[in-house]
Amino acid sequence: MSSMASERNLQPALDAIRVKFLASLETRLAELDALTTMIKSGDKGSRVWEEVRLRVHRIAGVAGSLGFPALGARSARLDTAIEQYIAEPSSADEATILAALDDLLDDIDAILEDGN
């Protein structure tokens, strides 16, 4: 089987995964927004940050492969920053990480509004 035929056979499966990913982004947006609100309200424990990192990490792991390279790259950078912040809070400025998280939420919102 040629590589083009293989790609055609894979495309429906990738399209289905992409649709599921887009559907999950709405839930992830709501979860990340709620966690961000908790942090901004003073709940700055590592547990909350770890929950944020886990969700960002999942987005980073899939977004680029499904046609959202900018979202994947931004998520990966944020994942690394949060991981470092959890390990050593003095290693990063929380306000900078929160600003990057807000930017990520804006990106997700724009993707959802665009519908693709």
Looking at residue 84, the DSSP 8-state letter turns out to be H
- Measured over all CA atoms, what is the biggest interatomic distance in the chain, rounded to whole angstroms? 58
103, two tokens:
């930017």
The full 3-state SS of 26-37, as one line of letters, equals: HHHHHHHHHHHH
- Count: domains in the chain: 1
User: In a structure prediction context, what are the per-residue pLDDT tens digits for the chain, which is 116 residues long?
Assistant: 456 666 677 888 888 999 999 999 999 999 999 999 999 998 878 899 999 999 999 999 999 999 999 999 999 999 999 999 999 988 889 999 999 999 999 999 999 999 76
Answer whether 35's CB lies under 8 Å from 51's CB: yes
The range of the structural domain enclosing residue 105 comes to 3-114
- CATH no. for residue 43? 1.20.120.160
Predicted TM-score (pTM) of the model is 0.85
Residue 97 pLDDT: 96
What number of other Cβ atoms are within 10 A of residue 81's Cβ? Answer: 19
Taking the C-alpha atoms of residue 104 and residue 63, their distance in angstroms, rounded to an integer, is 12
